[in-house]
């Protein structure tokens, strides 16, 4: 596999933080992914952030390592704020997601005094702005977007973002649907089935289906998703290499959760839909499946492609003994996707928001 080019970020926090107003014994630096204490502390901060924002924690060590490991740092950079005892009290992470779009994770310990917590937040955001300028300059852009998320009920996070020039731009429903064992029969086989001129199948793999996937199939998945989302909210170009690298970082990634839908109207099947699923592991009880991506080309809409792909992942989850399938949907989507999901028994579990800030890139 072709690896994307190296990081476009600045690794030295002081280079993008000309003014630091922390207490004298505090320091600004980077987390050490090889230090179990640092990884455990970041996991604790992330889980506390989730628990406060939505009522429960779901993150694991693997989610932290996606952000801070040597592998992850090809497309990311991190900063931490430590107190006088060396304890991490705040953490920021940026991800060069695609052209013009930089993701930003922004976590401050919940038990800090308000004034100190405000200062930590301001420093993380100032660092992110500096990194946006760095990655924007490396990509030859005039403006670089910072895209960060917040739980809908996290008023502290909202206040910090609004004060620093971010706008709330979108709402997302995080939905889940229960799966029962009998739903394994929803389709003939999740590996391959056909209905009304549409074939639904797993991406082909070598070695009797256990080896690496066929690259042409992976490219078809990428092209379908790029085409399906070209007019969607905040869509931006992502190369095939960047796409594969990012998807494989997900702790729940599995090649046998990638499906294509093809029209068979002509002699040569035409890829028109794709679904990428992942595993949602659970420490207590059965695992679940998650719809990371579902896209259908405009020319094939109305043929039951999206519904067929959803039936496929439900049947696959049931066959694997899983008890749920989750997904995220744009609450303001013009495609009517939310209606399809609710008609198939998905219900909103919690709500998140996207907040954006456009950063001018100095020449």
Tokens at residue 355, please? 């907040």
Contact 183/345 with Cβ under 8 angstroms? no
Percent of the chain residues past pLDDT 90, beyond the cut: 75
Alpha carbon separation from 13 to 20, 31, 311 (Å, rounded): 10, 12, 47
Give which of 134, 44, 122 is closest to 89, Cα–Cα: 44
Q: How confident is the model at residue 249 (pLDDT cuts 50, 70, 90)?
A: confident
For 139, the enclosing helix (H) or strand (E) is none
CA–CA distance, 310 with 286 (Å, rounded to integer): 20
For the chain, list the domains and their CATH numbers. Answer: 13-170+355-360 (3.40.630.30), 180-322 (3.40.630.30)
Q: Angle at the Cα of 337 (from 332 to 339), degrees rounded to 5?
A: 95
Alpha-carbon span 75 to 93, nearest angstrom: 11
Residue ranges with strand state E in the chain: 27-29, 76-82, 88-98, 101-108, 143-151, 167-178, 192-195, 198-202, 253-263, 270-280, 288-296, 324-330, 347-360
Q: Using CA atoms, how far apart are residues 305 and 314, in angstroms rounded to an integer?
A: 14
Cβ contact 139:13 at 8 Å? no
Contacts of 41 (CB under 8 A, 6+ apart): 87, 88
The whole-angstrom separation of Cα 34 and Cα 335 is 45
The per-residue pLDDT for range 1-38, each reduced to its tens digit, is: 344 567 899 989 988 887 778 888 999 999 999 999 99
The answer to whether residue 67 scores a pLDDT higher than 80 is yes
The average confidence (pLDDT) of the chain is 92
Task: Kindly state the tokens that stand for 54.
Answer: 């939505």
Torsion of CA 300, 264, 217, 306, to 10 degrees: 40
Cα of 57 vs its chain's centroid, Å: 17
What pLDDT is recorded for position 209?
63
pLDDT digits (tens, 9 = 90+) for 264-310: 888 889 999 999 999 998 877 789 999 999 999 988 888 899 999 99
Interior angle at CA 293, CA 92 and CA 151, nearest 5 = 40
Do 292 and 277 touch, CB atoms closer than 8 A? yes
Average confidence (pLDDT) over 227-253: 83
């Amino acid at each position: 596999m072709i690896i994307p080019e190296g990081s476009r970020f600045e690794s030295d926090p002081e280079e993008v933080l000309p003014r630091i107003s922390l207490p004298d014994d505090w320091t600004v630096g980077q987390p050490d992914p090889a230090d179990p204490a640092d990884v455990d502390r970041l996991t604790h901060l992330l889980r506390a952030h989730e628990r406060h924002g939505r009522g429960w924690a779901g993150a694991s060590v693997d989610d932290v390592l996606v952000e801070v490991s040597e592998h992850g740092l090809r497309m990311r950079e991190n900063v931490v704020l430590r107190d006088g005892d060396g304890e991490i009290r705040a953490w920021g992470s940026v991800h060069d997601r695609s052209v013009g779009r930089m993701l930003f994770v922004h976590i401050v310990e919940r038990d800090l005094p308000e004034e100190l917590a405000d200062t930590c937040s301001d420093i993380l955001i100032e660092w992110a702005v500096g990194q946006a300028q760095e990655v924007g300059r490396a990509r030859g852009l005039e403006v670089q977007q910072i895209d960060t998320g917040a739980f809908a009920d996290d008023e502290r996070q909202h206040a910090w973002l609004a004060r620093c020039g971010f706008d709330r731009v979108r709402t997302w429903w995080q939905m889940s649907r229960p799966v029962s064992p009998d739903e394994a029969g929803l389709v003939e086989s999740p590996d391959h089935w056909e209905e009304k001129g549409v074939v639904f199948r797993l991406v082909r793999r070598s070695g009797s289906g256990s080896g690496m996937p066929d690259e042409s199939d992976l490219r078809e998945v990428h092209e379908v998703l790029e085409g399906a989302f070209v007019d969607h909210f905040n869509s931006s170009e992502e190369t095939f290499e960047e796409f594969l690298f990012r998807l494989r970082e997900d702790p729940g990634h599995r090649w046998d959760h990638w499906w294509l839908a093809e029209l068979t109207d002509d002699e040569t099947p035409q890829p028109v839909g794709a679904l990428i699923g992942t595993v949602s592991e659970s420490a207590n009880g059965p695992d679940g499946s998650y719809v990371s991506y579902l896209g259908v080309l405009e020319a094939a809409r109305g043929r039951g492609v999206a519904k067929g792909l959803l039936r496929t992942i439900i049947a696959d989850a049931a066959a694997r003994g899983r008890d749920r399938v989750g997904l995220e949907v744009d609450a303001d989507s013009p495609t009517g996707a939310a209606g399809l999901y609710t008609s198939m028994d998905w219900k909103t579990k919690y709500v998140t928001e996207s907040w954006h800030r456009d950063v001018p890139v100095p020449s």
